[in-house]
Amino acid sequence: MATLIDRVREGVRAWAAMDPAGWGTGLSPAGARRALDEAAGAVLAAPLAPRPRPPRRLVIWCAGNVFTAPAPWAAWFASMQLSSAWGRSGSTSVHSPK
């Protein structure tokens, strides 16, 4: 049975398998692919572990043209057993399931 950390890593791998060429990043298709590969590789190499007492609420606020910026935060928060809710403008707030 997959652990929470396994599922987080599966999600990062699924994100890394996407084609970022049409995401409007301002990068060339090759540059967007390299940025995605580098970000996903860094997140997958990071030590992720559930925390005994996750925070009640977190907000991730990142520049829209830095599409890889929220990746490590989202993975880290997911490993703390937090869920996310997308805001209207594409922002996301992350909160405890309790």
* Residue-range domain boundaries for the chain: 4-95
Model confidence, pTM: 0.68
Strand order in the sheet with 92-95: 57-60, 92-95, 83-86
pLDDT in tens, 11-51: 889 989 999 988 888 889 999 999 999 999 998 998 877 76
Residue 11 corresponds to which tokens in the numbers above? 């999600």
CA torsion, points 89, 91, 11, 80, in degrees to nearest 10? Answer: -150
